[in-house]
Amino acid sequence: MTPFITALRNVLLGLVLVTGLAVPALAQLTAESRAYYQDWLKTANRAEEVIDASRASSAALETLRKELTSYRQRFLEARTENGDRIKTLEGQISALGKAPEEGESEPEDIAQLRASLEEQLRDLKVPRIVSEEAYSRANGLISEIDKIIRERRTRKLLERGPSPLNPEHWPGALRTLSRSASSIWNETASRIGSATTAERISNSLPALLLLLGIAAFLLLRGRPWAHAAGDYLRQFGSSGRGVWGFIVSLLEVILPFIGIICLAAAVELSGILGSRGTLLLDYVPGWALLVLSFHWLGNQLFSGRIENDLVPVQEGRLNETRLMVDILAVILVMQDALVKLENIETIPSSVHAVASFPLITAAALVLLRLHRIGAKRRQKQSADTAEDGAIAAGANRILTFARRASYLLGFVSPLLAALGYVNAAEALIYPAVSTLALLAALLVFQRFLGDVYGWLSGKGSAARESLFAVLIGFLLAALALPLLALIWGARVADMTELWSRFLEGFQIGDTRISPTAFLTFAVVFAAGYALTRLIQGSLRNSLLPKTKIDPGGQNAITSGLGYVGIFLSAVIAISMAGLDLSSLAIVAGALSVGIGFGLQTIVSNFVSGIILLIERPVSKGDWIEVGGLMGYVRDISVRSTRIETFDRTDVIVPNSDLISGTVTNYTRGNTVGRVIVPVGVAYGTEPRKVEAILTEIAKAHPMVLLNPAPYVVFQGFGADSLDFEIRAILRDVNWVLSVKSDMNYEIAKRFQEEGIEIPFMQRDIWIRNPEALSTGGAAPDSAESSSPPAPAIPPKLDVSDLQQDQEGEGEADADK
């Protein structure tokens, strides 16, 4: 039992003691436990008062929410404490049997033991009950705070303020902005001319010179250094050309950014800025990074090289497109500077509307211009889109959708701002720009990771269209979803709330399934599966081949080990993950009955597969015949067996057919088999001579066993021949066709040498009307005597004109 749980239990028991409902033995409470629970009660009561008053600012509510979240997390962890001990006590109480009914009694020893166990069980359940109640209260307070903040943001978003097109607001806005800029300038001028600043600069002169020198070198020489680094990296191979180019482009951003950081640090160290300037100076590196990043994205998207262009542009519009991207970055910086200035100065809403309207309009015009350039490019290059790769086509579809949405927002946002809905316009136009930048960054990083894969695998730029690149794209898109939600107004607290709910998991009976438990299950099962495959490979390749077990038995051992290993891996993984599936036993039992009826064929094949592995009537590599199919067994799986026929086609046979049907196994146990070669000779041939020749041929073949010796059978007298058969036992029945072919060749050769005739069927053809053949030979017409005579065409004969006679020996006769 943890100190926290003990403290909660003692606090609750103390509260019960105060109300007079507990025995004196439970009254001992520590000061620490009382203080902790009292702090929680004070925090919860204060939160309820703040929520009821609804006067606190959103920032104050966020702070209060963080405090409540920490309490809720501790209560969540405490809800599952002592679970094993509680189960043990419940099992002990259940072992004592059912409690006696009213008016009945049980032995005193059992009654005392039951009372003691029930008292321990109540004590252990107290912290869980307290934690459950406190968790529910904290969760409810957090939900109420989130609701208040969301309602405030919605009201602010839909609030209509002064129109920036009203000329009455222009002079006041100009004066306010000029006064703010003048105050910053005057503060800086006064600090520069002060003796304190001069003394500070003098004291920190070495550091200032160092920072300024680093900044100057990085800002002026950063780009050449980046290209020099790229030239050095290209020596490691052309397959990584995309990787080296990406690294060089990143260095072109990182080196100037470090220089700007050094420059800002030097300015801050000098102390020449006033309080307002110092506050704004803290944001300068971030603004510089924003501008550099947009410039980098523009160069990556619109590189001007066909092989590297993620978004091809119309010829002659490359520089204009990059300029539009840079202008968007400057607009975002100016908008953020306006927001930061409002945090420093008190600026009326009319001033904000007038100052923000030009930025909104400029951003909208840039988006419209980018859409127009893209439309021209699509009109000109529509014929090339069919040749794009799958990834490029998908990226183009996403960018086309984003471009159309930006085109719509480019019209809507300035209109909303002109009507006074400046907050709504800002909530549309700037997230749209940020979304486009995020999508562009995803495309760039997907291509970079594809190039890395191509470099490591040696595929080069072809890896950009590989399956790995597609999977990386999906992964990056999933990781970008939280960023996309934050861009469009989601709070960080909303994201953390979703993450905490995700980590909390869901409850099934008494079992809570969380991502941690699932990850533990996956890791343990994967490790067990890998270990099983490793042991199978070792047995198959190293140990079993050195034994006297036949190949079929070796395959059965490795397959059975695989089934056992996977089953044990699943059981161990469930146990390590802490999943208690006993509550699902009834549901699983009922479900298994339904599945059994629906999948009885599959279950039958599965059981048959296990029987095949145990009894092994058929093994891998056997030559079998089943159901009219003949071939070699190539694989025995859980459900079916794969047979390769002599036509080199695979036939999948259910395992149940091999168990319940008739199977002929030609190579079971050994490869010895019999070959029968039939042969016929003409009547009048000496049979004993034929027998001697055939016996000699059979014994001479190297595949024929001499023990038992081959023999010749005189089968009988056929219609046209004397029928003989060679019957011999082969060393390997798999060569039966080759042996028959070899023997037939040798028989034909020996019979020709010995003058033995092999009879064959002959037919006599009787022509009923031979005069019809002579009528077609008439003399040609005299008019055509100069040309060679055409061949006579015999009249067409029908079936009745032909008569077959199988009794003759050879010649056609036309003397009917």
Return the CATH number at 746: 3.30.70.100
Is residue 702 domain-shared with residue 736, that is, in the same domain?
Answer: yes
658 domain residue, yes or no: yes
Helices (H), 488-550: 492-504, 515-538
Residue 233 token pair: 């990296």
Q: In the prediction, which pLDDT does 394 show? A: 58
Is residue 520 domain-shared with residue 473, that is, in the same domain?
Answer: no
Is residue 560 domain-shared with residue 586, that is, in the same domain?
Answer: yes
Q: In the prediction, which pLDDT does 415 show? A: 93
785 domain residue, yes or no: no
Which of 120-124, 276-280, 747-751 ranks highest by mean pLDDT? 747-751
214 domain residue, yes or no: no
Residue 231 token pair: 């030239």
What is the 8-class DSSP label of residue 790? P
Percentage of the residues of the chain whose pLDDT score is greater than 70:
81
List pLDDT tens digits, range 207-258. 889 999 999 988 888 888 887 877 777 666 666 677 878 888 888 889 999 9
Between CA 622 and CA 664 the distance in angstroms is: 10
Q: In the prediction, which pLDDT does 272 show? A: 86
pLDDT higher at 645 or 126 = 645
Q: In the prediction, which pLDDT does 387 show? A: 45
User: CB within 8 A of 302, min separation 6: which ones?
Assistant: 309, 311, 313, 318, 321, 322, 325
Q: In the prediction, which pLDDT does 123 show? A: 77
Is residue 11 domain-shared with residue 74, that is, in the same domain?
Answer: yes
What confidence tier does 582 reach under pLDDT thresholds 50, 70, 90? low
Domain endpoint, select from 447, 473, 498: 498
Whether the ω angle into residue 708 lies within 30 degrees of 0, i.e. cis, is yes
Between CA 486 and CA 430 the distance in angstroms is: 12
Question: Which of 117-126, 148-157, 270-279, 415-424 bottoms out in mean pLDDT, i.e. has the lowest?
Answer: 117-126
Q: In the prediction, which pLDDT does 774 show? A: 62
Residue 432 token pair: 């749209």
Q: Is pLDDT of 175 > 80?
A: yes
217 domain residue, yes or no: no
Between CA 131 and CA 45 the distance in angstroms is: 17
Q: Is pLDDT of 126 > 60?
A: yes
- Quote the crossing angle between the two packed helices 108-158 and 492-504, to the nearest 10°: 150
pLDDT higher at 369 or 237 = 369
Question: Which of 330-334, 555-559, 733-737, 778-782 bottoms out in mean pLDDT, i.e. has the lowest?
Answer: 778-782
Arithmetic mean of pLDDT, 669-684: 89
Arithmetic mean of pLDDT, 67-71: 88
Q: In the prediction, which pLDDT does 401 show? A: 78
Arithmetic mean of pLDDT, 678-689: 91
Is residue 617 domain-shared with residue 742, that is, in the same domain?
Answer: no
Q: Is pLDDT of 27 > 60?
A: no
280 domain residue, yes or no: no
Q: Is pLDDT of 104 > 80?
A: no
Is residue 635 domain-shared with residue 561, that is, in the same domain?
Answer: yes
365 domain residue, yes or no: yes
184 domain residue, yes or no: yes
Arithmetic mean of pLDDT, 4-13: 42
Q: In the prediction, which pLDDT does 805 show? A: 42
Is residue 559 domain-shared with residue 625, that is, in the same domain?
Answer: yes
What confidence tier does 330 reach under pLDDT thresholds 50, 70, 90? very high
Between CA 434 and CA 294 the distance in angstroms is: 10
What confidence tier does 134 reach under pLDDT thresholds 50, 70, 90? confident
Arithmetic mean of pLDDT, 667-689: 89
Q: Is pLDDT of 332 > 50?
A: yes
Q: Is pLDDT of 14 > 70?
A: no
User: CB within 8 A of 62, min separation 6: which ones?
Assistant: 149, 491, 493
Is residue 469 domain-shared with residue 368, that is, in the same domain?
Answer: yes
Cα separations in angstroms, 646 against 632, 643, 737: 8, 10, 11
Work out the mean pLDDT of the chain and round it to a whole number.
Answer: 79
Question: Which of 67-76, 122-131, 157-166 bottoms out in mean pLDDT, i.e. has the lowest?
Answer: 122-131
Is residue 633 domain-shared with residue 688, that is, in the same domain?
Answer: no
Is residue 392 domain-shared with residue 489, that is, in the same domain?
Answer: yes
Strand duo 623-626 + 764-767: pairing: unpaired
Domain endpoint, select from 616, 647, 665: 665
Range of the domain at 532: 515-665
The β-bridge partners of 677 are: 726
For residue 388, which phi and psi values (nearest 5 degrees)? -70, 155
List pLDDT tens digits, range 752-808. 999 898 888 777 777 777 776 666 544 444 444 444 444 444 444 444 443 444 343
Domain count, the chain: 5
Arithmetic mean of pLDDT, 492-500: 83
Q: Which residue has the tokens 């222009």?
A: 170
Is residue 703 domain-shared with residue 734, that is, in the same domain?
Answer: yes
510 domain residue, yes or no: no
Is residue 743 domain-shared with residue 812, that is, in the same domain?
Answer: no
Q: What pTM was estimated for this model as a whole?
A: 0.66
